[in-house]
A and B are shown apart, each in its own frame.
Chain A
Amino acid sequence: MQRPRSITLGLPSVMCVCALVFGVPFATNAQSQDSTGMKLSRTVVAANAQTRPRPKVRMGPRRPPTRERVPPASAADSSAESAETIEADVSTRSVEVTAGFTGHEILVFGSIHNSQQPTDDSGYYDVVVVVEGAPEPVVVRRKSDVAGLWINTSSVTFASLPTYYAIAANRAIEEIAGPNVLDKLAIGFAHIKMTPAPGYKWSFSEQQLAAFKAATIRLKQKEGLYVVQVKDGVQFIGRSLFRSTVSLPANVPVGPLVARVFLFRNGEVISAHIARVTLERAGLERVLHNFAFRYPFSYGLFAVILAVLSGLLASAYFRRQTG
């Protein structure tokens, strides 16, 4: 008696689910095409760096490309014609966040053109690699004891903070350059630009603000989103090659990543290079996320139908099992 009923109930419901999963988000399917297109260009290119001199140096996280060349090293011995430039790339230009995403390791590598350093361990140059997620506003809240309960009582909204920030260098960044240089380039946790959101009224002392900033960095570090590797975070190979591995954690916020690579000599930046990594949802991850945020009503209906069907199918199954 019950067997045919559960089948007649099961078949259309499975078809419904299939129709919903594959039928609704047409737009998102179309979009995922270009991400596969991107994948084709995911090749490791470093060899042609030497043949094609690129004097354009871009510094700072969000500055439009400028023609201006970084002033040559302050070191007196380096003459203008032998100025070093740095070239870099990343091993993976496009990282896909799929249902099985558990983090990803990217390799940032490159070479110093016109390298003057005699050996890889001479300490002649310093290389700093900063991999950053897109800046986003964040709100930082502070709890205090209100009548025995710990309640969020004050908050600061920072206009933009990198969602992810990994820094690697061949030695401690404070040893590499002075605070002014680091501030200007936003290198190091203490030098990330943290400014209030527009229209935000400050009612905190400098000291309180500093505590908020420190807490923000601390929390981001605890989440594994702010990472620092300074002891051999960047390794030199021979006179001009260098490499650095950066581990993107499983909870890395999805969005474009920028890898900035700086070449330091005597505490001054003598060359810099920017490489980009796209970090995108792919597959079912992308379909479901876009579905939920672009068509929330259909997604809600889908969730309801899915819940009802799975509940009914499960009980139909168990009823058959127990007779």
Chain B
Amino acid sequence: MSIYLPIAEMSVNVALFLAMGGAVGFLSGLFGVGGGFLLTPLLIFLGIPSAVAVGTGSMQILASSVSGAIAQYRRNNVDVKMGMVLVGGGIFGSAIGVGLVRLLRLVGQFDLFVALSYVTFLGAVGALMLIESIGTIHRTRSGKTVSARKTGQHSWVHGLPFKMRFHRSKLYISAVPPALIGAFVGFMAAIMGVGGGFVLVPAMIYLLRVPTSVVVGTSLFQIVFVMAATTLLQAVQNQTVDVVLALLLIVGGVVGAQVGAIAGGRLKGEQLRFLLAGLVLLVCLRIGWDLVAKPTEIYSIGPVIGSI
């Protein structure tokens, strides 16, 4: 059975896209990540125009994050004040990103920019995660206790102005770093069609030193609001949000995520991170290969997008 997508303007196989949403949902449930970094490249491989893949991806991420965010909020795992600062920065960054999408499509470099962003971020995050998980696996194997995160460390972050008290995180830091991190993640969301959890979570832990108990909840809080804003902005500026495609992915995704979460409960954290790192690096290599390998067709054809 196939369905014609109103915005992507192509006929797609319903079962294939449901299955893909399910597979990505399974992995996101397994690893506890949003899965945008897998979904958007997969959509592009399957022939969805990259701008539509990115725009629709943000809608799918919104749907898959919203229930998690509410559950975390109920458990009081969200630092709302920190979340607001992140969201403020995020919406700003997203607006810049959506504008840049328009500009890049105009000059024909959008695909390149998306590919480069993916290779850079996935490569960096994947490599860091791989090193960290291998280290942890080694240490636990050799019987040494894993040292806990040091708290109370001071760095250059603490010298910045606009200090705010974040009660839930027990932090008294400048609002500038969270706003900047939020803006950066919002920008990435708009360009790459990802939630940005894979940058947001490490940044909050290592740069802001937010307690791990509130990191996931707060990052989900940020992702929900920034994704909602990004979906709206992409729809208004670029008309690249395909609700039919998004619904297919959402339906497949929620089912897959449930199964994945059950499977994920049977694996250790560092094992999961090791597998996830491998997956991230594979996606990175796949996209990178297309950039460096001599293409079979060096020409491409596209519509003329109206001037700015």
Q: Which residues of A contact B227 (CB under 8 A)?
A: 307
Q: Which residues of B contact A142 (CB under 8 A)?
A: 298-299
Q: How far is the CA of A98 from the CA of B250 in the complex (A)?
A: 22
A304 contacts the other chain (Cβ, under 8 Å)? yes
B217 to chain A, nearest CB (A): 15
17 chain-A/chain-B pairs, Cβ below 8 angstroms: A137-B304, A138-B304, A150-B293, A150-B295, A152-B108, A215-B299, A222-B297, A250-B2, A251-B10, A288-B243, A292-B7, A297-B235, A300-B241, A307-B62, A308-B62, A310-B250, A315-B254
Given A103-B11, A215-B297, A285-B4, 13 extra CB contacts under 8 A:
A97-B4, A98-B4, A136-B304, A143-B298, A149-B292, A152-B108, A218-B299, A292-B6, A292-B235, A292-B241, A307-B231, A307-B246, A315-B70
B65 contacts the other chain (Cβ, under 8 Å)? yes
Q: Which of A103, A137, A212 contacts B299 (CB 8 A)?
A: A212
Q: Which residues of B contact A284 (CB under 8 A)?
A: 6
Judging by beta carbons under 8 Å apart, are B250 and A307 in contact?
yes
Q: How far is the CA of A215 from the CA of B301 in the complex (A)?
A: 9
Nearest opposing residue in chain A for B8, CB measure: A251
Listed in ascending order, the chain A residues whose CB lies under 8 Å from chain B are 97-103, 136-145, 148-152, 155, 157, 197, 212, 215-216, 218-220, 222, 250-251, 253-254, 281, 284-285, 288-289, 292-293, 296-297, 299-304, 306-308, 310-312, 314-316, 318
Q: How far is the CA of A212 from the CA of B4 in the complex (A)?
A: 31
Nearest opposing residue in chain A for B4, CB measure: A101
A145 to chain B, nearest CB (A): 7
Judging by beta carbons under 8 Å apart, are A311 and B108 in contact?
no
Q: Which residues of A contact B145 (CB under 8 A)?
A: none
Ordered nearest first, which 3 A-B pairs have the shortest CB separation?
A300-B235, A315-B67, A215-B299
Which residues of B in the span 236-261 have a Cβ within 8 Å of any Cβ on A?
236-237, 239, 241, 243-244, 246-247, 250-251, 254, 258
Judging by beta carbons under 8 Å apart, are A312 and B231 in contact?
no
Which residues of B in the span 37-86 have a Cβ within 8 Å of any Cβ on A?
59-60, 62-68, 70-71
Q: How far is the CA of A59 from the CA of B251 in the complex (A)?
A: 51
Judging by beta carbons under 8 Å apart, are A311 and B292 in contact?
no
Judging by beta carbons under 8 Å apart, are A307 and B4 in contact?
no
B61 to chain A, nearest CB (A): 8
0/1 string, B3-44, CB within 8 A of A gives 1:
110110111000000000000000000000000000000000
B233 contacts the other chain (Cβ, under 8 Å)? yes
Q: Which of A251, A296, A300 contacts B11 (CB 8 A)?
A: A251
On whether A310 and B108 interact (CB within 8 A), knowing A157-B304, A288-B6, A288-B243, the answer reads: no
Q: How far is the CA of A137 from the CA of B233 in the complex (A)?
A: 26
Judging by beta carbons under 8 Å apart, are A138 and B10 in contact?
no
Q: Which of B65, B109, B258, B302 contacts A311 (CB 8 A)?
A: B65
Q: Which of B66, B236, B247 contacts A312 (CB 8 A)?
A: B66
Judging by beta carbons under 8 Å apart, are B301 and A289 in contact?
no
On whether A141 and B300 interact (CB within 8 A), knowing A306-B243, A311-B254, the answer reads: yes
Q: How far is the CA of A99 from the CA of B59 in the complex (A)?
A: 20
Judging by beta carbons under 8 Å apart, are B297 and A219 in contact?
yes
Q: How far is the CA of A49 from the CA of B63 in the complex (A)?
A: 58
Q: Which residues of B contact A311 (CB under 8 A)?
A: 62-67, 250, 254
Q: How far is the CA of A293 from the CA of B100 in the complex (A)?
A: 20
Listed in ascending order, the chain B residues whose CB lies under 8 Å from chain A are 2-4, 6-7, 9-11, 59-60, 62-68, 70-71, 108-109, 112, 227-228, 231-237, 239, 241, 243-244, 246-247, 250-251, 254, 258, 291-295, 297-304
Q: How far is the CA of A150 from the CA of B296 in the complex (A)?
A: 11
B20 to chain A, nearest CB (A): 17
Judging by beta carbons under 8 Å apart, are A312 and B112 in contact?
no
Nearest opposing residue in chain A for B254, CB measure: A314
Q: How far is the CA of A141 from the CA of B231 in the complex (A)?
A: 29
Q: How far is the CA of A11 from the CA of B6 in the complex (A)?
A: 27
Nearest opposing residue in chain B for A163, CB measure: B303
Q: Which residues of A contact B297 (CB under 8 A)?
A: 215, 218-219, 222
Judging by beta carbons under 8 Å apart, are B236 and A250 in contact?
no
Q: Which residues of B contact A103 (CB under 8 A)?
A: 11
Q: Which of B59, B64, B291, B300 contacts A140 (CB 8 A)?
A: B300
B264 to chain A, nearest CB (A): 15
Judging by beta carbons under 8 Å apart, are A100 and B236 in contact?
no
Judging by beta carbons under 8 Å apart, are A139 and B301 in contact?
yes
B164 to chain A, nearest CB (A): 28
A218 to chain B, nearest CB (A): 8
Q: How far is the CA of A145 from the CA of B298 in the complex (A)?
A: 10
Q: How far is the CA of A119 from the CA of B231 in the complex (A)?
A: 63
Nearest opposing residue in chain A for B291, CB measure: A149
Judging by beta carbons under 8 Å apart, are A143 and B243 in contact?
no
On whether A99 and B3 interact (CB within 8 A), knowing A292-B235, A304-B228, the answer reads: yes
On whether A299 and B63 interact (CB within 8 A), knowing A292-B7, A318-B258, the answer reads: no
